[in-house]
Structure 1
Amino acid sequence: MKRTTIVDVGRLAGVSTKTVSRVLNGGPNVSVDVQRRVRAAAEELDYHPNVFAQALVRRRSHMIGLVYENPSPSYVVELQRGVLERLTGERYRLVVIPVRSVQENAAEVVRLLRSAALDGVVLAPPASDNPVILRQLKEAGIFCARIAPTRMIDSAPSNLVDDVTAAREIAAYVIAMGHCEIAIIRGDATHPSSEARMLGYTQAFHQAGIALKFDQIEPGLFTYESGLAAGRAILNRPNRPTAILAQNDDMAVGAMMAARELGMQIPEQLSVVGFDDSEVSRIIWPRLTTVRQPVFAMAVAATDMVIAQLEGRDPLGEVVHSHELMIRESAAPPPGLRGT
């Protein structure tokens, strides 16, 4: 079938193509009657503007990118939902750009963004903390906003959550139940949030006078598989802990599966807590005690910051989002203290 063009719309409406363009793009100086005729003609012909042609004329693509690395499906879904929520009713469209390793491919990321002709970009961790990406975006004139950065906060509009305080609070909660033998599953070392959460755990241990045992710390990658492997390593040692602090929910669920492989009951024999309050934390049983990090709200706010810049408005430079300790069934006092 022949593609309907703006010429066809103008012929049916009895106006010039320039007038059709002004109507469909919300231009000024067009009467109500002409607007009605043009829109009726476009609907009758099922005409849809060519977004690429519009981009060439306006020198704007009306596409906003979302760059992320975190492989957690729940985290990624919340990011995308947040961006799409803010874009509802806008002419901007979302382009999802997953990166296998931001640390290894930082220089390529901005080249990819430039080649995609994006108007702006939302940066999720760890891209939101990468100095190479931030510098090159500024040099390229691409507007950006950041989700959960931990460094260089004033370099671009940012949405923050206090990882240190949140991690300290959940560790203190576990300690207050009487746990002294506590293992830790760290996240990806290239993500600054892993370092911040580790600092929070360390502060809670220090305040409680509990020694941090480095042989009870296992590396992870923020994935279920890495949590399963770390959980197996921790629980197959002779000095099993009574609790595990995992730096995100996916790894916590992996640790819970490792415990079940050994026939251990949660929380009767082992307490496990996570971080994020992702969907998996609410559907696993027992449900996971964790920290609620408002990923959806941060993605909405970051997208709004990008749009504000594109429209010539000053975005908020920094928004601090609150976290919340979500007490569920995966953590309880250690066996020796239960019932006291």
Structure 2
Amino acid sequence: MARRRQAVTIKHVAADAGVSLQTVSRVINNEANVRPEMRERVQDSIRKLGYVPSLAAQRMSGSRSYLILAINDRDRTIEDWRARQGTDWVDQMLLGGMLKCAEHGYRMIFELVDTHSDHVERELLGAIAALQPDGIILTPPHSDNAQIVALLHHQRIPFVRIGSIQNGAGIPVSMDDEGSASQATQYLIDRGHRRIGFISGSRDYALSGWRVNGWKAAMAAAGLDYEGLLAEGDFSYASGEAAARQLLEAPMRPTAIIASNDQMALATLEVARLLQIAVPDELSLISFDNTPLVHFTQPPLTAVDQPIAATTSKAVELIIAAQKGDQVTPELTVVSATITERESVAPPPGNSGA
């Protein structure tokens, strides 16, 4: 029976380099207070021995866990996973967060928490006790949950609130939902549209209201009336169907619609097909999110491309900086979205466009 190969440990590296365990730990953790020649000696031993740093070794200093905990909304995440409808919020979070963590020798752990649960404090405290994270990333609607924010503030753990524009406890990071909705509205106005409908998202998410505000602001700035052009959804496909029918079956239907997420945009596209309203010749359509599904619709959908990966990456940077004692401003950090142009927008009927 073959003998199991003995794992190389931090002790082997220290012995080979002729330095203390603390010195090896400081090199592994990329700390500044190590002389260049000492750092090079330790790195030579790491390469020679094939040592792979473990979290246990990284934690030797006792001040950091090298774990960042990202928390997402349980019910909606599980619903999206089970529906298998191509939403990739979690994928993009992992892309941005894990890559940035890897640059700094950290790991990102992903947890689902029900923000409406009576046991939310117990769930969070249990996760914190088990993982001892160096920082926590909150996503909507947790970002503006006063109970969660107060709990983390009391625990004195650095935390970032993605999708929040509120200053105060924690570090707010916004994807500029209001500005993105305004930008999408102006995009349609510039192409000649005057009756632009908007399908809002769930009231559980503060960002839903910010997007409505952005749409209204752009309409008002252009001197356009938005009365009767707002329909409420909840980010689900079914709610998008109902909202689209409300707008498209009205006596004065809009010539363009902005939907607050891709699922509701897909529902709007289907309702338009059933009502024999051609997209984009008779109806222009813009979505939020830019998930994989909208690339392959007929026509492919123009969409607000939310910078989820870049925002999560920025959140990791801010947490690591705070953990290291760097000065982190509590003021709002904004990671701006862009519009990805495809084939679902055209000038309105009877208008040749700008």
Q: Does residue 152 of structure 2 align to residue 137 of structure 1?
A: yes
Q: CA deviation at 1:8?
A: 11
User: In structure 2, what is the equivalent of residue 4 of structure 1?
Assistant: 6
Distance in 1 (CA, whole Å) between partners of 2:183 and 2:42 is 59
Match of 1:284 in 2: 297
Q: Which stretch shows the higher mean deviation, 110-119 or 5-14?
A: 5-14
Are 2:309 and 1:296 aligned? yes
In 2 relative to 1, CA 162–339 (structure 1 residues): closer, same or farther, beyond 3 Å? closer
Task: Determine the structure 1 residue equivalent to 2:135.
Answer: 120
Measure the CA separation in 2 of the matches of 1:325 and 1:232.
25
Q: Which residue of 1 aligns with 2:88?
A: 74
Q: Secondary structure at the match of 1:314?
A: coil
Identify unmatched segments of 5+ residues in structure 2.
29-33, 81-86
**Residues in 2 aligned to 1:35 and 1:164: alpha-carbon distance in whole angstroms:** 50
1:81 positional shift: 1.3
Q: What are the Cα deviations for residues 233-258 of structure 1, in whole angstroms up to 9, with x where unaligned?
A: 55466764432221123321232133
What is the identity, as a one-letter code, of the residue corresponding to 2:228?
K
Partner of 1:26: 27
Contact 2:27 2:42 in 1 (8 A): no
Provide Cα deviations, 1:249-297, integer angstroms capped at 9, x if missing partner.
Answer: 3321232133234443211222211223444444434232333433222
AA aligned opposite 1:97? E
Alignment check: 8 A CA contact 1:186 1:198 kept:
yes
TM-score of the aligned structures, taking structure 1 as reference length: 0.79
% identical equivalent positions: 27
Paired amino acid for 2:65: S
Mapping of 1:41-80 within 5 angstroms?
42-43=49-50, 51-52=55-56, 55=59, 58=62, 60-69=64-73, 71=77, 73-80=87-94
* Aligned pair partner of 1:201 in 199, 215, 220: 215
Deviations 1:201-257 (A, max 9, x none): 22233342414216x513222x44543454355546676443222112332123213
Contact 1:167–1:198 (CA<8 Å) still a contact in 2?
A: yes
Q: Which amino acid aligns with 1:259?
A: A
d(CA) in 2 for partners of 1:279, 1:312? 39
Determine which of 321, 327, 339 is the counterpart of 2:335: 321
Bigger shift: residues 158-167 or 130-139: 158-167
Residue aligned with 1:111, SS: helix
1:11, distance to aligned residue in structure 2 (A): 11
Cα distance, 1:95 vs structure 2: 0.4
Q: Partner of 1:169 in structure 2?
A: 183
- Counterparts in 2 of 1:117 and 1:330: CA distance versus 1, 3 Å: same
Does structure 1 conserve the Cα–Cα contact (< 8 Å) formed by 2:231 and 2:246? no
Aligned-residue offset at 1:171: 2.2
Q: Structure 1 pair 31/177, CA: closer, same or farther in 2 (3 Å)? A: closer
Q: Tell me the amino acid that sits aligned with residue 4 of structure 1.
A: Q
Contact 1:150 1:193 in 2 (8 A): no
1:258 corresponds, among 263, 271, 296, to: 271
Cα pair 1:65 1:97 within 8 Å, conserved: yes
Give the Cα separation in 1 of the matches to 2:299 and 2:10.
Answer: 62
Shift of residue 10 of structure 1? 4.3
In structure 1, the partner of 2:31 is: none
More displaced, 122-131 or 299-308?
A: 122-131
Query: Closer, same or farther in 2 for the Cα pair 1:224/1:108, shift >3 Å?
Result: farther
Q: Matches of 1:8 and 1:322 in 2, distance apart?
A: 43
The normalised TM-score by structure 2 is 0.76
Could you say what the CA RMSD is over the residues aligned between the two structures, in angstroms?
3.7
Output the CA distance in 1 between the equivalents of 2:16 and 2:26.
Answer: 18
Give the deviation of 1:170 after TM superposition.
Answer: 2.0
How many Å separate the matches in 1 of 2:40 and 2:174?
49
Give the deviation of 1:307 after TM superposition: 0.5
Q: Which residue of 1 aligns with 2:225?
A: 210
Provide the rounded CA distance (Å) in 2 between the counterparts of 1:76 and 1:199. 26
Secondary structure at the counterpart of residue 288 of structure 2: coil
Q: What is the alpha-carbon distance in structure 1 between the residues aligned to residue 17 and residue 184 of structure 2?
A: 66
Letter in 2 for 1:51: L
Counterpart-to-counterpart distance in 2, 1:266 and 1:52:
57
Distance 2:13 2:186 in 1: 72
